[in-house]
Amino acid sequence: MIVFDTIYLTIFQEIIKILIINNSAKITIAKKIVPLRKETFMADYFSSEFTLGILGGGQLGKMLLYETRKYDIKTKVIDPSIDAPCRIACDVFQQGDLMDFDTVYRFGQNVDLLTFEIENVNVAALEKLESEGKKIYPSSKTLRNIQDKGIQKQFYKTHGIPTAPFNILQDKNELHALIAQKERPFPFVWKSCTGGYDGKGVSVIRTAEDIAPLPDVACIAEELIPFKNELAVIVARNPNGEVKTYPVVEMEFHPEANQVEYVICPARIETSVAQNAREIAEKVSEAFEHVGLLAVEMFQTNDNKIIVNEVAPRPHNSGHHTIESSYTNQFEQHLRAILNLPLGKTDSKVGGIMVNLVGAEGHNGNVIYQNIEAVLAMDGVTPHIYGKKETRPFRKMGHITIIDKDLKVARKIAAEVKRTINVISN
């Protein structure tokens, strides 16, 4: 939609007068108008009929919708679950299979711009939509290089991005053969090429017996790298090529579930290491040619080198703290990026720590957030409840952000939060 500003309207009125007096002035005037048109017109995303489509209706989409509401951008969301968290916040909700070609294709035809909050979507449908002129960010090309972890790892090798040595295998037979030939000694990290999330699809293999419970799927056998920190950097990029990175965060993982328990910003690392991490993250972003957000997960090795573990082309768990701690939170930044708007300031206003709220072991059923009132009484603490009605062990049900000028104080409060709140069932 085109919007006239006051200056342009005045000029337009004068041009009409000239055209009435001298019709031969058309060509000269038209040539003068062209650059003015580029400067004064923009797409009308706000309080208009422009519709943003979101593939996936989970918590990431729900938090993105907070920002579309702030800007009054019309939204349409599709998710397999009728009870998806996004349902309460979007303008139009549709239930559908994200891996079904026809479902994704038809959904994309009825929006102006398409994005996603989960990687498990039908890429072929996105490619067809793009061939017909539909704008999709991140692009199908970016997603295809990331969706399969085997392709993703090969991408790093091709582009000279530091990563752990690996083998790509089609099934368990190839995995057993690799071990028999002693090409990948124990211990090593096993990853399924597709379908893994929230700690699923990843195992440390220490003996041959550890292979038995693994699914017989295409996978990666990766060298187990000794490291001192797990880090992440979120990179934002818009179609104009503007790029910004967020401060490096440090992640602490649950030893059993292999899920992030705490995200700490800024990471408690040397300035030189942080700078190197941000530079490598930008290199990864440039290689993928992504638009939107790219979360780059990394290891800081014992000798302070940075190697890339994996990436996610969307808002990410490692950026949830930005809602309270940053000048521009990651969800607003993703929106700015895909709409080709100026990117926001990524500096932190204050130290931030994020605590994941996951379902307690032994609990399945209707969720109860036990002792949440005690957590709400703590200084600098903000809970985010995702809207999932049923809990199960280690399911992500929400997160809590703790902010404080003193990161040590914030970390102590975070530990108290973790001890206090329990996600159980009735």
My answer on whether omega of the bond before 165 falls inside 30° of 0, hence cis, is: no
Query: CA 244, 245, 247, 250: dihedral to nearest 10 degrees?
Result: 160
Find the helix or strand (DSSP H, E) in which 340 lies: none
Confidence band for 38, pLDDT divided at 50, 70 and 90: very low
Yes or no: say if 151 and 144 are a contact pair by the CB < 8 Å rule: yes
Burial class (CB in 10 A: 0-12, 13-18, 19+), 127: middle
User: Could you tell me the pTM of the whole model?
Assistant: 0.88
Using CA atoms, how far residue 347 sits from 236, 244, 323, 325, in Å, is: 13, 10, 12, 9
Q: Report helix, strand or coil for 131.
A: helix
Q: Which two three-digit tokens encode residue 236?
A: 């934002």
Q: Tens of pLDDT along 80-137?
A: 999 999 999 999 999 999 999 999 999 999 999 999 999 999 999 999 999 999 999 9
Yes or no: say if 319 and 244 are a contact pair by the CB < 8 Å rule: no
Confidence band for 195, pLDDT divided at 50, 70 and 90: confident
Average pLDDT over residues 283-308: 97
Confidence band for 359, pLDDT divided at 50, 70 and 90: very high
Look at residue 11 in the predicted model and tell me its pLDDT. 43
Yes or no: say if 166 and 221 are a contact pair by the CB < 8 Å rule: yes
In this model, does residue 3 exceed pLDDT 50? no
Alpha helices in 96-248, H assignment, sequence order: 101-109, 123-131, 140-147, 149-158, 172-180
In this model, does residue 207 exceed pLDDT 90? yes
Look at residue 27 in the predicted model and tell me its pLDDT. 30
HSE value, Cβ hemisphere, 13 Å, CA-based, for 157? 11
Yes or no: say if 378 and 283 are a contact pair by the CB < 8 Å rule: no
Q: Report helix, strand or coil for 234.
A: strand
HSE value, Cβ hemisphere, 13 Å, CA-based, for 338? 32
| Encoded amino acid at 249, one letter | V
Q: Tens of pLDDT along 120-135?
A: 999 999 999 999 999 9
Look at residue 16 in the predicted model and tell me its pLDDT. 41
Look at residue 196 in the predicted model and tell me its pLDDT. 75
DSSP state of 46: T
Q: Tens of pLDDT along 370-407?
A: 999 999 999 999 999 999 999 999 999 999 999 999 99
Residue 159 backbone class (left: φ over 0; alpha: ψ -120 to 50; beta: rest)? alpha
Per the listing, tokens 């399969």 go with 148
Fold of 227-425: D-amino Acid Aminotransferase; Chain A, domain 1 (3.30.470)
State the CATH class of domain 165-223. alpha beta
Q: Tens of pLDDT along 212-266?
A: 999 999 999 999 999 999 999 999 999 999 999 999 999 998 877 678 899 999 9
Look at residue 26 in the predicted model and tell me its pLDDT. 34
Confidence band for 43, pLDDT divided at 50, 70 and 90: confident
Look at residue 15 in the predicted model and tell me its pLDDT. 44
Average pLDDT over residues 413-417: 97
Query: CA-based Rg of the chain, rounded to a whole angstrom?
Result: 24
Q: Select from 105, 106, 110 the least CA-distant residue to 91.
A: 110
In this model, does residue 358 exceed pLDDT 60? yes
Average pLDDT, the chain: 90
Average pLDDT over residues 36-52: 71
CATH number for the segment(s) 51-136: 3.40.50.20
Q: Select from 12, 16, 15, 86 the least CA-distant residue to 53.
A: 86
In this model, does residue 50 exceed pLDDT 50? yes
Look at residue 21 in the predicted model and tell me its pLDDT. 40
Average pLDDT over residues 308-326: 98
Burial class (CB in 10 A: 0-12, 13-18, 19+), 72: exposed
In this model, does residue 206 exceed pLDDT 80? yes
Q: Tens of pLDDT along 278-287?
A: 999 999 999 9
Look at residue 42 in the predicted model and tell me its pLDDT. 58
CB atoms within 10 A of CB 406: 10
